[in-house]
Amino acid sequence: MIEATLDFLSAYSTLIALVGVNALLALSVWVTLYAGQLTLGNAAFMAVGAYVAALLERHLGTPFPLALACGAAVAALVAVPLGLTVFRLRGVYLAIATLAFGEVLRVILLATPITGGGQGLNGIPPTTELWHIYLSLAVVAYVLWRVQGATVGRAWAAVREDEIAAASQGIAVRRYKLAAFVAGALVAGWAGGLSAHITFSIEPNDFAFGKAVQILVFAVVGGIPNPLGPIFGAALFTALPELLRPLRDYRDIFQGLVLLAVIIYLPRGLVTVSQLRRTRRLQQIGAADVA
């Protein structure tokens, strides 16, 4: 049994690592969605964390934990002025503005010699291990879980439901929206640093529009009601291509069908399956009582 487990981990270590990293990224966008803000800038913050951590360790010999922390901190610092600017917008305009930031950052990375330009940054030390990723995931998920019941979490929920009503109750709406945005950037930057030290090589196109949408899909499919949802969504859509490998050219079709089914039958995400079953059971009991 132990040998079989070790063989499985050896064969699928990269996939297991990507599941954990994608789960962290999904949680990073969950924070802003929980506060009612649709943003598409988390791929850019991932890029900031990845490049800063990789450059520090590669050129300055910075210890791995410190390099990760610096990458995440720089991503959070970049998010502050960006958030102060873009949170004047709402809805789809906010999403477009944060997406534009990601494209601007990608062009800067392509034009900067120290980042390797279009050829990317190669020779990154393979420092990340599975326990680094899953310990980070456990800590972030636990913190966000506890935050839901704290003052900050309740304020985010109030802002999500109605900003005007939240402001009338004395909630500093702009401050809490900015806090959610910066927290998401911090988590995305940390995930980017971990990811850079798995793949050994990164390039600007790794953090383009497709990555931003993918992160959003992880969170939406998993569900917003609690932090477990984005983890489920990331695990499903990261592992699904591997599970559908025998279908080869039809994999994208099946992935699309799964996404469509979740949107139609579980509009609040996979995490609400148990709630849906409970609701149906209560409906059956109510119908039986009426009969």
Residue 56 per-residue DSSP state: H
Reported confidence tier of residue 282, pLDDT bands at 50, 70, 90:
very low
Task: Write out the two tokens for 94.
Answer: 């906010």
pTM of structure: 0.88
Q: How far apart are CA 51 and CA 203, in angstroms?
A: 9
% helix / strand / coil in the chain, to the nearest 5?
85, 0, 15
- pLDDT at residue number 252: 66
With a pLDDT cut of 90, the percent of the chain lying above it is: 31
Higher local confidence (pLDDT), 144 or 10: 144
Higher local confidence (pLDDT), 247 or 69: 69
> Is the Cβ–Cβ distance between 9 and 16 less than 8 Å?
yes
Higher local confidence (pLDDT), 79 or 123: 79
pLDDT in tens, 56-97: 988 888 899 999 999 999 999 999 999 888 888 877 888 888
Please compute the mean of the pLDDT values over residues 231-243 and round it to a whole number: 84
- pLDDT at residue number 5: 57
Lowest mean pLDDT among 97-101, 109-113, 144-148, 243-247: 243-247
Give the three-class secondary structure for 87: coil
Please compute the mean of the pLDDT values over residues 26-32 and round it to a whole number: 93
Q: List 202's β-bridge partners, or say none.
A: 121
